[in-house]
């Protein structure tokens, strides 16, 4: 079975790896090489149980998290390299009594669905995270959450894919069509055909015409993120609060995210974005005011109109599959997406999660 994957972000590379691991001959096409796009800016949090997720997104996220440990183990072994991946848990911080009550309600709802989540009072919080602002009154600890260091994951995914025979083609897909009854991708240099084509071009998926089918309704939502560094990790867990989050890596780096901006396809980092994130970081962890500034990145999150991914076969184009619209959760959902797509393309049956993400809900 020959497959072409359009887009080498985390979603496209995870799909390529999974297909190749199951025996397919895979080419991945991307004009920028691998791990660019939204993936490059991602915080890599694996956190499905946060407040505000729809029931469908929660179900997908939980299924995605369930697969992570095994996926990291397989990719790491196939690539022969380690990947920083830790289930540190998250702390969602309240500064007011009202916020604390809302967190308690959320904790009870999680407990009702079988997820252990614990409220920490101010004393417990300052003992477990002494670098946090003393304005933090309470926090909800959700132990199953964690993060993966995305650049390390991407290097390993690409390495594991190459070891399984994946070829990376540096080219821009201009159109997806049929050629002699096979699915095909047209680039400036050539038309490449295969048994199946998977459109996984993130925010750009809507701009690649698919013959006889409408384009997927995906729009870019820019997110900016900072990377700061202290000599020692200032936090032991991911912390949410004051409208943002911090992800502490083992080496003392801390990711501070993020903005959400409707600015079209503009991938710039802005002075205003950096200033707002720095203020947020210092408000939550005052010591970060003295941190080394390691960099800032911006990425375009691919948002579908119902904020759920679009995964599955095209109705009008046999041999064409969509895997896009992962919005804020593409890293969390990449292994699940890869197994859903591989099942479909290679005929391995359909998992129940597929019903939540089918392209035909948009007439695709």
Ligand X SMILES: Cc1cc2nc3c(=O)[nH]c(=O)nc-3n(C[C@H](O)[C@H](O)[C@H](O)COP(=O)(O)OP(=O)(O)OC[C@H]3O[C@@H](n4cnc5c(N)ncnc54)[C@H](O)[C@@H]3O)c2cc1C
* Interacting residues with ligand X (CB under 6 A): 6-12, 29-32, 36-39, 41-45, 172-173, 200-204, 208, 223, 225, 257-258, 299, 301-302, 324, 326-332
Closer residue to ligand X (CB): 119 or 364 = 364
**Among the residues of 80-149, which ranges form H helices?**
97-112, 122-128
Question: Shortest gap between Cβ of 108 and ligand X (angstroms)?
Answer: 25
Closer residue to ligand X (CB): 100 or 281 = 281
Question: Shortest gap between Cβ of 126 and ligand X (angstroms)?
Answer: 26
Structure tokens of 341? 């797509």
Closer residue to ligand X (CB): 149 or 301 = 301
Reduced to 3 states (helix: H, G, I; strand: E, B; else coil), residue 340 is helix
C-alpha 168/C-alpha 154 separation (Å) is 13
Q: CB-based burial of residue 23 (10 Å sphere; 0-12 exposed, 13-18 middle, 19+ buried)?
A: exposed
Closer residue to ligand X (CB): 68 or 139 = 68
Question: What pairs with residue 184 in β-bridges?
Answer: 177, 193
Question: Shortest gap between Cβ of 83 and ligand X (angstroms)?
Answer: 15
Contact 129, 246 (CB under 8 A): no
Peptide bond into 291 cis (omega under 30): no
CB atoms within 10 A of CB 219: 17
Contacts of 112 (CB under 8 A, 6+ apart): none
Planar angle of CA 115, 119, 125, nearest 5 degrees: 130
Question: Shortest gap between Cβ of 227 and ligand X (angstroms)?
Answer: 11
C-alpha 328/C-alpha 362 separation (Å) is 20
Closer residue to ligand X (CB): 138 or 330 = 330
Closer residue to ligand X (CB): 32 or 101 = 32
Question: Shortest gap between Cβ of 221 and ligand X (angstroms)?
Answer: 8
The number of angstroms, rounded, from the C-alpha of 147 to the middle of its chain's C-alpha atoms is 10
Question: Shortest gap between Cβ of 298 and ligand X (angstroms)?
Answer: 7
């Amino acid at each position: 079975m020959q497959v072409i994957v359009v887009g080498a972000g985390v979603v496209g590379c995870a799909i390529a790896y999974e297909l190749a691991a199951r025996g397919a001959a895979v080419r991945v096409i991307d004009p920028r090489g691998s791990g660019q796009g939204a993936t490059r800016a991602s915080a890599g949090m694996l956190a499905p149980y946060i407040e505000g997720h729809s029931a469908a997104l929660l179900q997908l996220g939980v299924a995605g998290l369930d697969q992570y440990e095994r996926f990291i183990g397989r990719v790491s072994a196939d690539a022969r390299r380690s990947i920083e991946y830790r289930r540190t848990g998250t702390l969602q911080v309240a500064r007011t009594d009202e916020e604390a009550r809302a967190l308690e309600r959320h904790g009870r709802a999680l407990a009702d669905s079988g997820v252990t989540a614990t409220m920490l009072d101010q004393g417990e919080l300052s003992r477990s995270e002494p670098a946090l602002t003393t304005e933090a009154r309470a926090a909800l600890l959700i132990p199953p959450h964690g993060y993966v260091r995305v650049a390390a994951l991407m290097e390993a995914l690409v390495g594991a894919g190459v070891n399984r025979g994946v070829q990376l083609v540096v080219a821009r897909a201009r159109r997806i069509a049929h050629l002699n009854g096979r699915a095909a991708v047209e680039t400036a240099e050539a038309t490449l055909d295969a048994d199946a084509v998977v459109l996984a071009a993130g925010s750009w998926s809507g701009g690649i015409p698919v013959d006889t089918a409408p384009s997927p309704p995906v729009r870019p939502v820019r997110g900016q993120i900072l990377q700061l560094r202290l000599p020692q990790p200032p936090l032991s867990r991911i912390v949410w609060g004051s409208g943002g989050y911090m992800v502490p890596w083992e080496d003392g780096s801390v990711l501070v995210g993020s903005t959400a901006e409707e600015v079209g396809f503009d991938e710039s980092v802005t002075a205003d974005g950096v200033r707002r994130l720095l203020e947020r970081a210092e408000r939550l962890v005052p010591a970060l005011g003295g941190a080394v500034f390691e960099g800032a990145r911006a990425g375009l999150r691919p948002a579908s109109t119902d904020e759920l991914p679009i995964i599955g076969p095209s109705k009008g184009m046999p041999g064409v599959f969509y895997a896009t619209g992962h919005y804020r959760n593409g890293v969390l959902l990449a292994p699940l997406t890869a197994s859903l797509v591989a099942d479909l393309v290679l005929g391995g049956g359909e998992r129940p999660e597929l019903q939540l993400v089918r392209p035909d809900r948009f007439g695709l």
